[in-house]
């Protein structure tokens, strides 16, 4: 059941330095973030990648497990730590889909 929608941003850090996309470590940022997105894709949940965050929709518990594992994936792929930002929409009866929210703008 789609009772949750999560907007999720992972910001990898290396040696306690936040990697900024416009900085000298841009390729490293993209590589780590790409590994997280590849993991999200492997889970089979519905998701959309945006320029600042990835939006996923599905079951709350499943999505939160993905968020948790995404931290580990980032570290396994070179980040010494992560900062992550979440926006969560939850309703046990269901939430609006990505298409309902965005199709009129496409």
Q: How much is the pLDDT for 28?
A: 84
Q: How much is the pLDDT for 17?
A: 62
- In which residue ranges of the chain is pLDDT below 70? 15-24
Q: How much is the pLDDT for 65?
A: 98
Q: How much is the pLDDT for 20?
A: 56
- pTM as predicted: 0.88
Q: How much is the pLDDT for 1?
A: 73
Q: Which residues are CB-contacts of 55 (< 8 A; sequence separation ≥ 6)?
A: 5, 6, 7, 8, 47, 48, 98
Q: What is the CATH T-level fold of the domain 4-92, as seen in this structure? A: Alpha-Beta Plaits (3.30.70)
Q: How much is the pLDDT for 13?
A: 85
């Amino acid at each position: 059941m789609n009772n949750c929608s999560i907007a999720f941003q992972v910001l990898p850090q290396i040696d306690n330095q936040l990697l900024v996309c416009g900085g000298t470590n841009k390729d490293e940022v993209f590589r780590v973030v790409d590994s997280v997105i590849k993991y999200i894709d492997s889970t089979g949940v519905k998701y959309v990648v945006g320029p600042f965050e990835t939006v996923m929709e599905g079951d709350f518990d499943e999505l939160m497990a993905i968020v948790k594992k995404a931290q580990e994936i980032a570290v396994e792929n070179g980040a010494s730590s992560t900062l992550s930002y979440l926006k969560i929409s939850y309703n046990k009866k269901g939430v609006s889909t990505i298409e309902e929210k965005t199709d009129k703008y496409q």
